[in-house]
Amino acid sequence: MNNPELKIEQQKENDKLLCKLTGWLDPNTSQDLLYQVDLKDVKHLVVDLSKVEYVFSSGLRVLLIFQKMLEEAGGSIKLINVPEQIRFVFEDTGLDKMLETKA
């Protein structure tokens, strides 16, 4: 099996950052997400998960870290285009009640 990769595209407009992810959010790639997403001067982070194939618990942890950082700064995080199989992960873990998600 190949090691799945994570592609991270970032588009910043004023205090809003759109982050499009492609691939797997797993123990190998979640650190990339944590360190490559630039939240400097960002109040609102929108994460597009439409091309994410799988999310491991380490990826969920990074999203929660982002949420905590943004909330402490008076901002927010929103997950959009969440595929059905990933939405189930959020529902099973209860994170759908902690993170704003949209299909």
- pLDDT above 80: residue 1: no
- Beta-bridged to residue 52, according to DSSP, are 23
Tell me: the pLDDT tens digits for 77-86? 999 999 999 9
- Mean pLDDT along residues 68-80: 95
Tell me: the pLDDT tens digits for 18-38? 999 999 999 999 999 999 999
pLDDT score at 50: 97
What is the CATH class of 6-101?
A: alpha beta
Query: Which two structure tokens, joined as six digits, stand for 75?
Result: 């901002």
| % of the chain beyond a pLDDT of 90 | 81
Query: Which two structure tokens, joined as six digits, stand for 11?
Result: 């588009």
Q: How far is CA 40 from the centre of its chain?
A: 16
Instruction: Give 10-64 as a 3 state SS string.
Output: EEEECCEEEEEEEEEECCCCHHHHHHHCCCCCCCEEEEEEEEEEEECHHHHHHHH
Q: What are the residue boundaries of the structural domains of the chain, listed by start?
A: 6-101
